[in-house]
Amino acid sequence: MAQPTEPAGGPQVPGYSPETYYAAGWQPPAPRTEPLAVASVPTALLLGPVGTGLGAAALSRTRRDGTRGRGLALTGIVLGALVTVAWVVVLVLAQQAAGDRAPLAGDVAAPQSAHARQLVLGSCLADLPPAGEVADVDVVPCADEHHAQVVARTDFAADSVWPGQAAADARVARVCTAEVLGEGADADADALTLWVWAPSEASWDDGDRTGLCLAASDEPLTGSLLD
């Protein structure tokens, strides 16, 4: 059986043509880098899912055309996915923050937890929170037993400068008097204590401009103190 022999001129090297003279050290040109792969990385950082799409398209082209850039394409896909997830998290948090600032109805239909900033004139609280910074409170229908109610409210101008804690408290205290109570409070007047809730410097920096006056009692109340 005949033995195979090498073609004339010696063994063939991929990328070389036997009819062409190559200078010593010459190498075939490297495949080009896929432009979409290069573009996918910065696009992913700026536009999230758009970068993921470019990375996926670039990955497909590197397989089809033999171009370089597979690593860049994968980086664009991953970065785009991470940025997209970050956008979703920020959006959810923003919606929750907006919900924490949406005013309640004057008298809620069922017990619920709410941020103190959502309270309005007439809101009834199951219990009065301890003195200090107030965040979440339990709001109940005024027909249910409760221990406190918002009986007055004053709002600072949205563009006003922080006046200092003493001045903020004094501003709210001016509307927090027994005159704001309705006839329904007469029977409980001696048992009621008026509390001033004014913005703190920290809540002011976060956009809080609402001052509240609450009437509270150690004994359960039913009905509205404003009627």
Has residue 127 been placed in a domain?
yes
Output the pLDDT for position 139: 93
Strand partners, 193: 216
Has residue 92 been placed in a domain?
yes
Q: Which residues of the chain have pLDDT under 70?
A: 1-28, 97-101, 182-189
Has residue 9 been placed in a domain?
no
Are residue 202 and residue 119 in the same domain, yes or no? yes
Q: H helices of 100-220, where?
A: 165-173, 201-205
Has residue 88 been placed in a domain?
yes
Output the pLDDT for position 211: 92
CA distance 122 to 105: 9
Are residue 48 and residue 121 in the same domain, yes or no? no
Are residue 45 and residue 91 in the same domain, yes or no? yes
Output the pLDDT for position 3: 53
Are residue 93 and residue 116 in the same domain, yes or no? no
Pairing of strands 124-125, 136-140: antiparallel
Has residue 61 been placed in a domain?
yes
How many domains does the chain fold into? Answer: 2
Has residue 5 been placed in a domain?
no
Q: How many CB atoms lie within 10 A of CB 27?
A: 9
Output the pLDDT for position 99: 59
Are residue 49 and residue 129 in the same domain, yes or no? no
Q: How many CB atoms lie within 10 A of CB 1?
A: 3
Residue 182, both tokens: 């309705």
Are residue 42 and residue 122 in the same domain, yes or no? no
Q: What is the DSSP letter of 33?
A: B
Are residue 123 and residue 189 in the same domain, yes or no? yes
pTM equals 0.57
Are residue 64 and residue 143 in the same domain, yes or no? no
Has residue 203 been placed in a domain?
yes
Are residue 145 and residue 119 in the same domain, yes or no? yes
Are residue 121 and residue 91 in the same domain, yes or no? no
Are residue 52 and residue 145 in the same domain, yes or no? no
CA separation (Å) from 51 to 47, 74, 83, 122, 195? 6, 10, 9, 51, 55
Check: CB of residue 139 under 8 Å from CB of residue 123: yes
* Spatial CA neighbour of 196 closest among 169, 221, 223, 177: 169
- The range of the structural domain enclosing residue 59 comes to 35-97
Has residue 120 been placed in a domain?
yes
